[in-house]
């Protein structure tokens, strides 16, 4: 029985990911979750008491996975500049991934404190790695530069998400070049 419950919970989270990546947070409703999973709406309430609870659990499950992939790419890179490049490239590479799209949709939405805290914790680890790489480059303001660098990444993510005129690879190259030129400045 417990195994069946955890399978249903996983199916609900997967349906939530799809709904978020297709239509953002407005698309994530209990009726839509019920329809996607074939469960009765009352059953959805047995697993999650609210939309916020679904979002919070997704943050708990997906953010660390996403952050770990970026972290691994940075750890594999040799030298501070290569780490910064890996940080930008990996995040942009993950844009097409449904998990990432769900993460982006969640980040853009109104979150309760619990979910925000989990996102901050996952992001905090990444920002700390970038701050360290920037400090290795003797950057005068590594913390500020890390925040601005993430702004470049976020803008590039949105550009790719929108299906902008430029090819995703062109957006990635522009973001990498801006990041590396910016941090050396």
Q: What is the pLDDT confidence band of residue 110, given thresholds at 50, 70 and 90? A: low
Q: Given this model, what pLDDT does residue 74 score?
A: 93
162 or 1, greater pLDDT: 162
pLDDT in tens, 49-83: 988 888 888 878 888 888 889 999 999 999 999 99
Q: What percent of the chain clears pLDDT 70, i.e. is strictly above it?
A: 92
d(CA 15, CA 128): 32
Q: Read off the tokens for 152.
A: 């470049």
Work out the average pLDDT over 131-148.
91
DSSP state, residue 108: T
For residue 115, what are the contacts with CB-CB under 8 A and spacing of at least 6? 52, 55, 56, 59, 106
Work out the average pLDDT over 116-139.
83
> With 70 as the cut, is the pLDDT of residue 104 above it?
no
Q: What is the pLDDT confidence band of residue 22, given thresholds at 50, 70 and 90? A: confident
């Amino acid at each position: 029985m417990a195994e069946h419950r955890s399978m249903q919970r996983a199916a609900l989270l997967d349906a939530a990911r799809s709904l978020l990546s297709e239509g953002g947070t407005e698309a994530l409703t209990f009726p839509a979750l019920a329809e996607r999973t074939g469960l009765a709406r009352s059953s959805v309430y047995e697993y999650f008491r609210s939309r916020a609870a679904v979002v919070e659990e997704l943050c708990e499950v997906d953010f660390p996975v996403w952050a770990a992939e970026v972290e691994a790419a940075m750890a594999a890179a040799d030298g501070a500049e290569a780490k910064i490049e890996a940080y930008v490239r990996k995040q942009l590479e993950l844009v097409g991934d449904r998990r990432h799209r769900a993460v982006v949709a969640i980040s853009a939405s109104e979150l309760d404190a619990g979910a925000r805290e989990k996102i901050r914790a996952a992001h905090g680890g990444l920002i700390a790695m970038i701050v360290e790489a920037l400090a290795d480059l003797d950057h005068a303001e590594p913390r500020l530069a890390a925040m601005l660098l993430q702004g470049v990444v976020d803008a590039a993510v949105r550009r790719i998400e929108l299906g902008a005129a430029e090819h995703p690879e062109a957006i990635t190259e522009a973001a990498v070049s801006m990041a590396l030129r910016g941090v050396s400045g």
